[in-house]
Copies of this chain bind each other. A is one copy, B any other.
Amino acid sequence: MSVNLPELASSLASVAKSLHARGWLLGTSGNLSAVVQREPLRLAMSPSGIDKGELTPQQVLTIDEHANVISDHGVKPSDESLLHICIVKQRGAGAVLHTHSVWNTMLSDLFSAEGGVNIQGYEMLKGLQDVRTHEHSEWLPIVKNSQDMQTLADTIALTLEEHKAAHGFLLERHGLYTWGENLAQAKRHIEILEFLLETLGRTLLVKNNRG
């Protein structure tokens, strides 16, 4: 598999702009990647510290499987590149998206004791790849946050191994990761999961209030 890099970089910039507009990538947070080629691995990756509403295709980096920058840029890749590489390898993903929304941050906090968020019975679940019915039950594991990226990548590798059916996971008080076979599918997944987390969060409020 090999794709056109300028086109991919342009799509990454366009998705970044769209997610930033929704408030899911504020303050240069979050990051996006897409596989350019598998062997050896080349990943198009959003750079660190850039306003995602202003990301240009030219700023997109290419990294290898150790998160070393291949392309000749002055900027450095996201600190969380190792997590993207881990997901690409373990899930065979073609694209990975990581957002910081108010609702994913809140639910990763509110459900941390349970170790994950269970989402079931919603039609929107069918937007997740290979889910055929709203009766599906999606478990989004919550991983404890850490600043040691290698440790975090190892924990995520184990989590993905343990929860083979999961379409994403939450980092506690940090954000949401999801992925797809390609960027369009990953974007679909991020919109679906953000929608479901907001719905769950708001429903908690109303249900408790109705007592």
Given the interface contacts A174-B122, A210-B208, does A27 sit within 8 Å of B195 by beta carbon? Answer: yes
Partner of A188, one of B23, B27, B195: B27
Q: Judging by beta carbons under 8 Å apart, are B110 and A174 in contact?
A: no
Least CB distance, A175 to chain B, in whole angstroms: 6
> In the assembled complex, which residues on chain B have CB atoms less than 8 Å from the CB atom of A26?
124, 191-192, 194-195
CA distance A100 to B196 in the complex (A): 11
A33 within 8 A of partner (CB): no
| Interface size class, chain A | 35 or more
Q: Judging by beta carbons under 8 Å apart, are A110 and B147 in contact?
A: no
Secondary structure type dominating chain A contacts: helix
Q: Judging by beta carbons under 8 Å apart, are A123 and B174 in contact?
A: yes
List 29 A-B residue pairs with CB atoms under 8 Å apart, sorted by A's residue number.
A18-B53, A23-B195, A26-B192, A27-B124, A27-B188, A27-B191, A27-B192, A28-B188, A29-B123, A29-B192, A29-B195, A51-B187, A100-B123, A100-B195, A102-B198, A102-B199, A105-B199, A106-B202, A109-B203, A110-B210, A122-B173, A123-B145, A123-B174, A123-B175, A124-B174, A133-B147, A134-B173, A134-B174, A205-B206
Partner of A124, one of B22, B105, B194: B105
CA distance A100 to B192 in the complex (A): 10
> In the assembled complex, which residues on chain B have CB atoms less than 8 Å from the CB atom of A189?
27
Residues of A with Cβ closer than 8 Å to B?
A: 18, 22-23, 26-29, 51, 53, 100, 102, 105-106, 109-110, 121-124, 127, 132-134, 145, 147, 171, 173-175, 184, 187-189, 191-192, 194-195, 198-199, 201-211
Q: Judging by beta carbons under 8 Å apart, are B51 and A184 in contact?
A: yes
**Residue of chain B at shortest CB distance from A201:** B206
Q: Judging by beta carbons under 8 Å apart, are A173 and B209 in contact?
A: no
Known: A51-B188, A110-B207, A110-B210. 15 other contacts (CB 8 A): A22-B23, A26-B124, A29-B123, A29-B127, A100-B123, A100-B195, A102-B195, A106-B202, A106-B203, A110-B203, A123-B145, A123-B171, A123-B174, A205-B205, A205-B206
